[in-house]
Chains A and B, each alone.
Chain A
Amino acid sequence: MDRRPLDYPFSYVRIKNGGLALYKSMFGSIPNTLLTLVILYFLFQVARPLADWLVFNSVVLPADARQCLDANGACWAFVQLKFRTIIFGRYPTSEQWRPLLSMSLLIIGLVLTADWRQWSKKYWKKFMCILWICILIADGTLMTGGLLSLDYISPDRWSGLPLTLIMAVFGILLAFIVGIFVALGRVSRLPVIRWFCLIYTELVRGVPLITLLFMTVIMLPILLPEKLEIHKVLEAQLAFVIFFSAYMAEVFRGGLQSLPRGQFEASLALGMGYYNTVRKIIFPQVFRLTIPSTVNTLINAFKDTSLVVIISMLDLLGTTQAVIKDPAWFGIFMEAYIFTAFIYFIFCATLSWYSQRLERHFRLSRR
C-alpha cells in the first residue's frame, strides 16, 4: 500500500491514482464504509429538497407572481424579469450600454494587470499607469456623459454592478498605493512621519466604515469651497481609500517586519539608496509574503462597497433590495438575493483563485 507521510507538503502535487486513493479512503475498511454511507445518506437528504427547490419545482418565464407563490420552488421568473434592473439599477435603459462598456473596460484592465508573464517586460509599469489613467477617463466620460454627443447622466443614477465595480476597483487600486506609503511611514526613522502614520492607521481602523462614509459625505462639502460640487461617487471613493489604505498599510507593515533586516542592510551596503532599496529589494518581497492577507483585505473591500447604501447610493446589493419591493411580486425576494450573492461570489472566488495561482507561480519559479 502506498503510504505517504502525514505532512505530505504541497497540495498542488497531484497524487497518483487519485481515484483509487479516494476509493480506499471511503470504502477501505468496514468503519470507513459505514461512515461513508451515513454521510452520503445525510448529504442526500439535504441535496434532494435543495435540487427540487432550485431546479425541478422552480418557475421560469412565462409566469406571473401568482404561479410563483403557488409553486413549491424557486421563482427564477422574477430574476429573469428583473436582472437588468438588479445589474444596472436606475441608469436609463436606453443608455445601459455605457455602464456595460465601462465594466468591460475595467475587467479587461484587471486581466491585463493580473497577467504575471508580462510583469518583467520592460515598459510594463509605464504601460499600466497609462492604461489605468485611460480607463479612469474613459469610464468617467462614459458614465457621466455630457460630451461627445453622450447624454448627461446624473451621478445619482449610477447604480448596480457598474457602481460596485468602479468603486471597488479604483478604491482598491488607490488604497493599495496609499497603503504602501503609510506602511513605509510607520517604519520610518523620522518620528514625525512615524507618529503621523501611526495616528492615521489607528484613527481610521478605530472607526467603522459607515461613519467614515457619513463623514466624507457631510464634512467634505463643508470643508470645500461652496461652488465646488464634488461628485458623490468620489466622496464615497475617498472614504474607501482612507479606510482600506489603513488596513493595507498594516498588512504591508506585517510583511516589512517579517523580512530579515539583512535584506535592507545588504542593499544599503551595495550602495543602493533608500528609494532603490524599497522599490527593488524590499517591496517585491513584501508583496510576495503578504499575498494571502492582501487578498483577504481586497475581498473585504469588494464586499464592503455595499455599505454605500447608507449614503443613499444603490450598489449591486442596493438595487437588489430596491427590486424586491415591487408590489406586483410581493413576497418574492430569496431568488434575487441568491442571484446577487452569486455575482459577488464569482468576483471574490476569481480573486481568491488568482491569488492561489500567483502564490504557486512565485513558489515554483522564484523561490
Chain B
Amino acid sequence: MHYEPVISFRSVNKYWSDNHVLRDITLDIRKGEIIVIFGPSGSGKSTLIRCINGLENIQEGRIMVENIPVQEELGTLPQIRLRVGMIFQHFNLFPHLTVLENCTVSPRLTLRMKRAQAEKLALEHLSRIQINHLAERYPDELSGGQKQRVAIARALCMQPHILLFDEPTSALDPEMVNEVLNVMIELANSGMTMICVTHEMNFARKVAHRMIFLDGGRIIQDDTPDAIFSDQAVSQVSQFIKSIQSHRS
C-alpha cells in the first residue's frame, strides 16, 4: 500500500449561508483504501464526498486529489473529474440514451475515444457486472438494481482512479441491494480506491479499511471497522449503529 495520500482534506470548512455544514475536516485517504462514511442524516456525509469532485465548493481549507487542488477558480475540476467517478443515490442515468450510449457518451466526448473502442470498453464493463444483454435498452426499462449497476459501469468506463458512492443502495428495493453491493465488493477487491457513504454495515464490516462517523459536520470517529464495531467505539457511534441495526431487523 502506498502511503502518499490520493485525497487529502486540510481544515475544510463549508457553509450554506449561516449553516456550518462541514467543520474543520482534516482527512487523508491513501491509494486502494476503502472508506465508509456514515452518520445521521444531515450530518454532511454527502456534502463531504461531493466536495471531492467539486460538485460543492468549500469556503475554507484545502482539498487535494492526486496532488491537484480541487478549486473551481483554478480550473482544475475537469482534471479532477476524469480521475474521480461518482455513483449517485438516484442513479441519474440519462433517460434519452440507451444503456450503451450512457456508458459511451463521456468517453467519446471527453476522452476522444473512437465509437467502436468506446463501445468495446463499455461492453466489457457491462459484461463484468452481467448486464451486457441490456445494452440496447433505455434506463426506464430497467429495475433499480440494474440501473445502479449501469451507473457503476458508466463511471468505470471513464477509467477513474477513485470512485465515490453517494448512498448507492438507499433508493433500492431491499431485494436489489445485494446485487449492487456484490459489484461494489468485487470492485473493492480489485484495488479501486473507494469512498462510500452508506449505512450497509455488513458491507462496511466486510470490505472497509476505515469507517468515518460524521455528525453535525464534524468527524467524530475515524477508525477500523473492528474498532468501530467493538467497545472502542465512541458511545455516540455505537448508539447510532445500534439504532440503524434495530431498525433493519
Contacts and interface: CB of A to CB of B under 8 A. Distances in A.
Interface of B: 53, 55, 77-78, 81-82, 84-86, 88, 90, 92-96, 105-106, 109-110, 138, 140, 151, 154-155, 158
A271 B138 CA distance: 22
A288 B92 contact: no
A265 B91 CA distance: 11
B92 A263 contact: yes
Nearest to B154: A270
Query: Which residue among A267, A269, A276 has the maximum number of chain B CB atoms within 10 Å of its CB?
Result: A269
A272 to B, nearest CB: 5
Nearest 7 interchain pairs by C-beta = A266-B92, A262-B92, A270-B106, A269-B86, A271-B81, A271-B110, A271-B82
Contact of B109 (A268, A280, A284, A288): A280
A242 B110 CA distance: 35
B140 A367 contact: yes
A89 to B, nearest CB: 44
Contacts of B90: 260, 262
21 contacts: A260-B90, A263-B92, A266-B88, A267-B94, A269-B53, A269-B84, A270-B85, A270-B105, A271-B78, A271-B81, A271-B106, A271-B158, A272-B106, A273-B110, A280-B105, A280-B109, A281-B105, A285-B96, A366-B138, A367-B138, A367-B140
Contacts of A262: 88, 90, 92
A280 B104 CA distance: 12
B96 to A, nearest CB: 5
A270 B55 contact: no
A86 B110 CA distance: 55
A290 to B, nearest CB: 13
B20 to A, nearest CB: 23
Interface string A251-278: 0000000001011011111111100100
Contact residues of A: prevailing secondary structure: helix
Contacts of B95: 285, 366-367
Contacts of B138: 366-367
Query: Which residue among B82, B110, B140 has the maximum number of chain A CB atoms within 10 Å of its CB?
Result: B110
B81 A270 contact: yes
Contact of A265 (B78, B88, B140, B158): B88
A91 B82 CA distance: 61
Contact of B55 (A263, A269, A273): A269
Given A285-B94, A285-B95, 16 more contacts: A262-B92, A263-B92, A266-B86, A267-B94, A267-B106, A268-B77, A269-B53, A269-B85, A269-B88, A269-B155, A270-B154, A270-B158, A271-B110, A271-B158, A276-B110, A366-B138
B96 A268 contact: no
B155 A265 contact: no
Contacts of A281: 94, 105
B199 to A, nearest CB: 20
Contacts of A367: 95-96, 138, 140
Contacts of B154: 270
A265 B53 CA distance: 10
A260 B110 CA distance: 23
Query: Which residue among B81, B82, B92 has the maximum number of chain A CB atoms within 10 Å of its CB?
Result: B92
A263 B55 CA distance: 12
B96 A266 contact: no
Interface in A126-148: none
Contact of A284 (B55, B82, B96): B96
A18 B129 CA distance: 47
A294 B153 CA distance: 35
Contacts of B94: 263, 266-267, 281, 285
A265 B92 contact: yes
B105 to A, nearest CB: 6
A284 B95 CA distance: 10
A282 to B, nearest CB: 10
Contacts of B77: 268
Contact of B81 (A268, A288, A366): A268
A271 B55 CA distance: 11
Contacts of A269: 53, 55, 81, 84-86, 88, 155
Contacts of A280: 105, 109
Query: Which residue among A266, A268, A280 has the maximum number of chain B CB atoms within 10 Å of its CB?
Result: A266
A266 B97 CA distance: 14
A320 to B, nearest CB: 43
A366 B90 CA distance: 20
A276 B96 CA distance: 15
Interface in A217-272: 260, 262-263, 265-272
A268 B84 CA distance: 11
Nearest to A273: B78
Given A265-B55, A271-B78, A271-B81, A260 B109 contact: no
